[in-house]
């Protein structure tokens, strides 16, 4: 089952989806700022969740036991994460969070053997810029002209005929 939560929703209450074992995906609105304790506790089929950019708080055990959840990126706006928020997420291999994020419950929020990657603002900005360039390259190639850039160098990116490799 899939759920799309309404635009304008600011919080998901305690145990809102408690043990909804058939829930596979949930679309969270951009307006969401709080996910309360045990909101998605035991949702073992929940495979992915994209946390909105304005989210500030994830309560204790919010995603506890979501054993199909493979990865999560915590938004820059997050200021609080409760103990065991992602504990029991046995498929969770990596967590990406803002480099400035510091919370006393951070180490208790995840099960052991989870790779926590701290990403700084500069790296995030660079990735966003590279994504925008990639989108323009794809859009240009779809338009049928076959060129990804113009200019005197024949679209090779300048400097010796080799273009910059964009990931």
Whole-number pLDDT of residue 54? 95
Whole-number pLDDT of residue 156? 45
φ/ψ (deg, to 5) at 26 = -140, 135
Whole-number pLDDT of residue 142? 65
Q: What is the pTM of this model?
A: 0.68
d(Cα 127, Cα 129) in Å, to the nearest integer? Answer: 5
Token digits of residue 38? 């045990």
What H or E segment, with its residue span, contains residue 90? none
Whole-number pLDDT of residue 109? 84
Whole-number pLDDT of residue 165? 46
Whole-number pLDDT of residue 150? 45
Average pLDDT per consecutive 10 residues, the chain (167 residues; last block may be shorter): 96 98 96 98 95 96 96 90 92 82 70 66 61 69 54 45 47
């Amino acid at each position: 089952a899939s759920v799309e939560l309404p635009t304008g929703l600011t919080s998901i209450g305690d145990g809102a989806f408690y043990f909804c074992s058939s829930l596979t995906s949930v679309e969270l609105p951009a307006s969401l700022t709080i996910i309360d304790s045990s909101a998605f506790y035991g949702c073992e089929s929940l495979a992915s969740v994209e946390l909105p950019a304005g989210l500030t708080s994830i309560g204790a055990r919010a995603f506890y036991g979501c054993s199909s959840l493979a990865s999560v990126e915590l938004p820059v706006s997050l200021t609080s994460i409760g103990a065991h928020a992602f504990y029991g997420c046995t498929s969770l291999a990596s967590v990406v969070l803002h480099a400035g994020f510091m919370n006393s419950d951070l180490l208790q929020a995840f099960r052991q053997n989870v790779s926590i990657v701290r990403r700084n603002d500069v790296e995030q900005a660079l990735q966003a810029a590279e994504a925008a360039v990639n989108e323009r390259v794809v859009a240009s190639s779809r338009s049928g002209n076959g060129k990804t850039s113009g200019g005197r160098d024949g679209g090779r990116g300048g400097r010796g005929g080799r273009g910059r490799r964009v990931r």
